[in-house]
A and B are shown apart, each in its own frame.
Chain A
Amino acid sequence: MKRAFPIFAVPTALLLGYAFYEAMWVAPMERTMGDVQRIFYYHVPSAWTAFLLFFVNLVASVTYLVRRNPKADAVALVSAEVGVVFCTIVLVTGPIWARPVWGIWWTWDIRLTTTLVLWLIYVSYLVLRRFSDSSQTPKLAAVLAIFGALDVPLVYFSIWFFRTQHPQPVIGGGGSIDPRMLHVLLINWLAFSCFAVMLCWARYRLERLHREVEEAESMESLHESTR
């Protein structure tokens, strides 16, 4: 298992490099925005990856509540943490893109705002896991994940209606996309997905080691007390 990681890490790094090259030089220049638009190739794949990871967290959380399988809990923790990393990138690159193009740092754009609320919910999820020192933390965290999932459609609707009452700029535009740009976008998504898998893998190994150390420590204190 230890050998396998570098074997997959190297092609992932190469893929990321290739995707970067495509985004910077191969993709055609956007007519109205110019080169700044290339942020799109990092912003959008990060968003898709974050949402996918949060979905994995939801499935793992429900699985844990139903089956009480500790591996499911580990998967939930890992996907939440890596998901927050990618979500942070979406929230940082979004305003950096918006500022030169639309002249504003922030707008209540429906996708950006939903991303912000998801980020808040999952950061609170990670804080709960860190601050809760009972053996029942996995259960509580799983419950919170379900509440978060129930919240997201409500967030989406409330912002959607808010925008019909208070028109605001749309970041990232809708509409059709040039097929050459779509090609570059998909390559970057593939590269970042592989990268996300590697990050989750590394984090999962870390979590397994962490649990082993915890178990060893409690064994140790058990032996101490019975001496």
Chain B
Amino acid sequence: MNPVHYLYAAYIATWVIHGVYIGSLERRYSRLRQQMKDLRK
């Protein structure tokens, strides 16, 4: 395997991990907003 592919893998892995985390924050946020809305009813 060409060494440069490892470079791409590392950079992609970094942003995938950050992306997954931000995605989980988004999901938790919308779930809480929904809960708040239900409570206010």
Contacts and interface: CB of A to CB of B under 8 A. Distances in A.
A34 interface: yes
Contacts of A137: none
A116 B13 CA distance: 18
Interface residues of B, number: 22
A35 B14 contact: no
A219 to B, nearest CB: 9
A206 B4 contact: no
Nearest to B12: A96
B3 A34 contact: yes
B4 A85 contact: no
Interface in A175-221: 195, 199, 202-203, 206, 209-210, 212-213, 216-217, 220
Given A35-B4, A88-B17, A216-B39, A42 B32 contact: no
A171 interface: no
Nearest to B39: A216
Interface of B: 1, 3-4, 6-7, 9-11, 13-14, 17-18, 21-22, 25, 28-29, 32-33, 35-36, 39
